[in-house]
Structure 1
Amino acid sequence: MNKSLKIVFFGTPDFAVHILQAILEQKFEVSAVVSAPDKSAGRGRKIHTPAVAKFAKAHNLALLQPEKLKSKEFLKALEEFQADVFVVVAFRKLPRAVWQMPKKGTFNLHASLLPDYRGAAPINWAIINGEKTTGVTTFFIDENIDTGQIILQKKCAISPDETAGELHDKLMELGAETTVETLQLVSKNGVNPAQQSKPKLNKDAPKLFKENTKIQWQDSLESVFNFVRGLNPYPTAWTYFKNENEKKYVKIIKVQIQHTPHSHKIGDLFIENAKLGVGHRNGIVWVEELQMEGKKQLKAQDFINGFGDLTSWRVD
């Protein structure tokens, strides 16, 4: 085992699990894992254990799941591990009392090329904004969100039709490689961190809610296409299908776009050559996969077969 470092790992989702697994495979000593508390979720209020916590239990790693990161009990338990470095991946903001604890510092892996796309959803917003390149960054945590000194950065191309889910998996692999390399530098005292430059305008990555995931059909065709793939598979772009009497909430999973003249009114839903289209000022948005509220996800053809007459329906 590589015992030159004692590590405490902080993380919650599957993305972080892959990074933790890579650290262990490189024989680094993970003294403990910190994850979010178990929570009840869903209609049955079943207990949900975070992915990182599940992994830690399965691999017999010491596990802390504090409700409050400033609690005396948690801080005392953390100090007892006498870690050299804390590694943070997809976790909540740490208080100063935590990130200042290890003698070699606390670093975070972020799924963007900082200072661009600081915030909770960098993978989604990079695609939504039509970026062709993104990457990952390791940096030392400071008082603010994603502003600390940069240790390493690695770039990654974004394909023209790539979804957030696909990019997530690519960056997960790149992030594992970058985190391990960062730990190797830390263990050899070879880190030469650099201050972040000033971030560019409109390149932040705020958390995604229902309010900011609704499709804006007045945007360009390319913007609609990027918005849908940037929210696929989660949290998913959405819109309303409506007529004079009804309004239905619909998740739009996958679309294609076509720059072509058409005779349909802007915003109208229509069927053409067994395909589901939306009239757009610059062409047509072809909806390929969608999900009505309370229903299962469907291919457009299956939706058309089951929905009935679409002639009076439009998007909103």
Structure 2
Amino acid sequence: MQIRPKRFDVGPILIQDKCLVQPHCTAQELGATLAKMGAKMLISTLENLPERIQNKKEQSKQGATFAPKISVDMSWVNWEDQSCDQIGRLFQAIGSRISLRTQWMGDTIKLLDFVGKNEIPVVSESERQRQPTPGSLLYHKESNTLLVCCKDGWVGFRAVKLKKRLSAADFYNGYLHQYFLRKSERQQRECVFQTYKPEPKDVKKRKLHQQV
């Protein structure tokens, strides 16, 4: 496109093409595909610049929206409100740049190697009838996957990062297995991934003032 002073991405289009986005394509994979397409289009434009400028097309103002900058705040998973598909799309959009995050026992934990929606593994009849709490954890040994309950099902991760990167099996053996061996209801409630809830800005300001 042509550049206009003091405004970004609003100039007339010289050449454009379409790219089919595959269902499970990540932003990183899409970026690599678009980079190759863009390189070819750039060469074609330079070779035919007078013709491209003569046939330039103004951008439509309909449907245009501003895309916010990607930030860590976007990476927190909300187990109560987000569906399997929403978590999957969040991973596709930002997962290659910022790991998805959650809280566990008061600590931040990064969720790695997302494997998408999973069916609930075979459990006892009593567990099958009980409605799991969003954020509940199950370890699926056969696929070495850590399953987490969200709004409408279970999503899987094959690794996490607490103090260091851990496979699903290592996390289960080192941190979860001891809780599953106990029957305390309180411990069962604690042993879940928790949705991060940021403090209001006024609370943060008061804490910062007290520290100063």
TM-score when normalising by structure 2: 0.69
1:174 aligned to which of 30, 37, 57: 37
1:281 aligned to which of 147, 151, 170: 151
Query: Deviation at 1:247?
Result: 2.4
Measured against aligned partners, the alpha-carbon deviations of 1:118-147 in whole angstroms (never above 9, x if no partner) come to: xxxxxxxxxxxxxxxxxxxxx111232211
1:213 is aligned to 2:71: no
Q: Relative CO higher for 1 or 2, CA cutoff 8 Å, sep ≥ 6?
A: 2
2:164 aligned to which of 278, 295, 306: 295
**CA distance 1:182–1:215, change in 2 (3 Å):** farther
2:104 aligned to which of 212, 228, 241: 241
Contact 1:254 1:290 in 2 (8 A): no
Superposed CA RMSD in Å reads 2.5
1:250 aligned to which of 110, 114, 117: 110
Q: Could you list the runs of 4 or more consecutive aligned residues of structure 1 that deviate by over 4 angstroms after TM superposition? A: 259-263
Output the CA distance in 2 between the equivalents of 1:254 and 1:207. Answer: 23
Query: Deviation at 1:302?
Result: 4.0
1:269 is aligned to 2:137: yes
Residue 148 of structure 1 is matched in structure 2 by 11
Output the CA distance in 2 between the equivalents of 1:276 and 1:208. Answer: 26
Could you say what secondary structure the match of 1:271 adopts? strand
Matches within 5 A, 1:2-21: none
In terms of fraction of residues, the more helix-rich structure is 2
TM-score when normalising by structure 1: 0.48
Could you say what secondary structure the match of 1:315 adopts? coil
What amino acid is aligned across from residue 257 of structure 1 in structure 2?
Answer: K
Output the CA distance in 1 between the equivalents of 2:110 and 2:52. Answer: 52
Residue 314 of structure 1 is matched in structure 2 by 193
Could you say what secondary structure the match of 1:215 adopts? coil
Output the CA distance in 2 between the equivalents of 1:196 and 1:220. Answer: 35
**CA distance 1:172–1:304, change in 2 (3 Å):** farther
Structure 2: runs of 5 or more not aligned:
122-127, 181-190, 196-212
Query: Deviation at 1:272?
Result: 3.2
**CA distance 1:159–1:300, change in 2 (3 Å):** farther
In terms of fraction of residues, the more strand-rich structure is 1
**CA distance 1:233–1:288, change in 2 (3 Å):** same
How many equivalent pairs are there? 171
